[in-house]
Amino acid sequence: MSTILEKINTPEELRKLDPKDLPLLAEELREMIISTVSQTGGHLASSLGVVELTIALHYVFDTPRDKIIWDVGHQSYAHKILTGRKELFRTLRQHGGLSGFPRRRESIFDTFDVGHSSTSISAALGMAEARCLKKEKYKIIAVIGDGSLMAGMALEGLNHAGHLKKDMIVVLNDNEMAISSRVGALSSYLSRLITGQTYSRFRKDMQAFFKSLGEPFYKFAKQTEEFFKGIFAPGVLFDELGFRYVGPIPGHRIDYLLENFKNIKHLEGPILVHVVTTKGKGYQPAEKDPTRFHGIGPFEKESGVPLASKPGPSFTGVFSETLVKLAKQDERIVAITAGMSNGTGLDKLASEFPEKFYDVGIAEQHAVTFAAGMAVEGLRPVIAIYSTFLQRSYDQILHDVCRQSLPVTFVLDRAGIVGEDGSTHNGLFDFSYLRHMPNIIIMAPKDENELQHMLKTAIDSSKPAAIRYPRGKGIGVPLDEEIRNLAVGKGEVISEGKDAAIVAIGSTVYPALSAAQELKKDGIACTVVNARFVKPLDEELICTLAREIGKILTVEENVLAGGFGSAVLELLNRKSIPAEKVTCLGIDDCFVEHGPQEFLRKKYGIDSSGIVQAVKALLQKT
């Protein structure tokens, strides 16, 4: 039995369908998304929530001439299927397959690369301005979620767009924050009414009429219009920013979406369309627990139960448990995150100490300066944010925390190669963007046991401190019952050998140990060092290794530019110790693509086999 989706490979084919067939198409899209993500993992709840919205946008607008920019892009699965990638959808998030986010190199329908939050409005406005300068004519639509809209960059974009008055549409996908509860027959009718061409012509005519009577009459008419809009629609804020507000519209009623978008298509100037959707729509487990199904690994389709994974606690879980233990001992501890309480493991502390937990939403810049203010008053703030997202707050870390040398602890989850989320989410730059800041301590644990000691060390320090650790399960080592402070700036010699020294940091320490064991079979004896600290370095240990062994390999899961290896080379140069027999192993000058973590580590030569090859090449140097 053929399906509607089988016949649709492009939006052009979609637009030939009878509107009455679109609800069935939505069901078929959901089935494909659920089946695929149950095998590949991915962002399920958000994509299920915008199926009807995606259909309506491509049905009404002339894509790819008209351009859709998806904010973050984790809700773009239906968009990918409808824009020529249906047969490739099974490769979602697989190495060499479809990205989990829009990518310009992947399709002409992907108009802007995304992956981080709150960029769509600024990008859409830039494209709209370029369109005007080139004297072209087409529609530009930014689709942004309610959480992303609250971030500073999105509000800056709205403010600028309202000022420039460019012809653009912002679709606010409201699936959680309940900006308005006015969803029903009356509000939907009003939305359709105020977007209709008859109303628009009437509004323009009345404005012209009152202007002809004089400024006092025009001001009175404007105030009266805003008063009634304030009663019937929750769009006064957007109207004041210069946007014509439309909504709220039920986001799973394709007929309402089609009618509104057809009306809006004929309007000019900045327009904000408020669409209310349900995260996880159409899949009961995701509707019941949208947070868990926001980003999920492979799962059993029928029940929603995750498939078996590697046993043992994750780094995130150990951090969570340790922070709660320390908070019970130290009343100065407070915890802050930016819209990621579950992902960072702070939900446990939030449950036990709700008065000590702050989720500021997608506002990393604010989170850091908020923490700085707390630290000034004697508290010990712990900020848990994914490595890739902390990049947004670079200036606040430098200017507000490090410059004042405030005791703020930065916990960078998902550091290094994160895997299937790819280039926008890999945390491969934190050593580099933090290391050059004065006053900060930077650590990376080799395992989950060392993580708990580093957390205490950071909190007890009187300086800014950062701890970074990888995504996924820990090594499986036992945890010490007593959590203690580590000596700041001191590494750990794990094994000794006279032929070469492997100085590793964080997630590369155990691969370095494995490599040393493999090299031993070939008669090569290596000293293996767990550096622990990127800043301050264990200068005494590293200089001793350079003088006594000479041949040093540094290993890190970070870009080489400005990273741990660079720090070692700078140290040896400063101490006038020849460094011609030092090799730095890490990620070269590139953005790492999506794929399984272990596969990518092997590809980029930072696994045990890559370390073996690098040591042998180092020993061959004359």
Please answer whether residues 56 and 14 qualify as being in contact, where contact means their C-beta atoms are separated by less than 8 angstroms: no
Task: Give CA separation, 220 vs 36, 245, 347, 396, 432, in Å.
Answer: 57, 20, 51, 45, 58
* DSSP string across 147-184: HHHTSHHHHHHHHHHHHHT-SEEEEEEESSS-S----S
CA diameter of the chain? 97
Beta bridge partners of 199: none
DSSP for residue 551: -
Closest to 193 in 3D by CA, of 126, 246, 254, 132: 246
Please answer whether residues 558 and 429 qualify as being in contact, where contact means their C-beta atoms are separated by less than 8 angstroms: yes
Closest to 555 in 3D by CA, of 499, 486, 605, 619: 605
d(CA 185, CA 188): 5
Determine the Cα angle at 537 with ends 536 and 539, to 5°.
125
Per the annotation, the verdict on 392 as an active-site residue is: yes
* DSSP string across 500-515: EEEEE-GGGHHHHHHH
What is the crossing angle of helices 509-520 and 608-619, to 10°? 60
Active-site residue identified among 244, 356, 392, 601: 392
Which residue type sits at 158? L
Per the annotation, the verdict on 364 as an active-site residue is: yes
Please answer whether residues 430 and 441 qualify as being in contact, where contact means their C-beta atoms are separated by less than 8 angstroms: no
Active-site residue identified among 259, 364, 450, 557: 364
CB within 8 Å of 199: residues ≥ 6 apart: 193
Active-site residue identified among 93, 279, 281, 468: 279
Sheet holding 465-470, edge to edge: 357-359, 333-337, 380-386, 409-415, 465-470, 441-443, 533-535
Closest to 612 in 3D by CA, of 543, 535, 524: 524
Per the annotation, the verdict on 136 as an active-site residue is: no
Which residue type sits at 365? Q
d(CA 426, CA 419): 7
The distance of Cα 444 from the centroid of its chain, to the nearest Å, equals 21
Task: Give catalytic residue positions.
Answer: 279, 364, 392
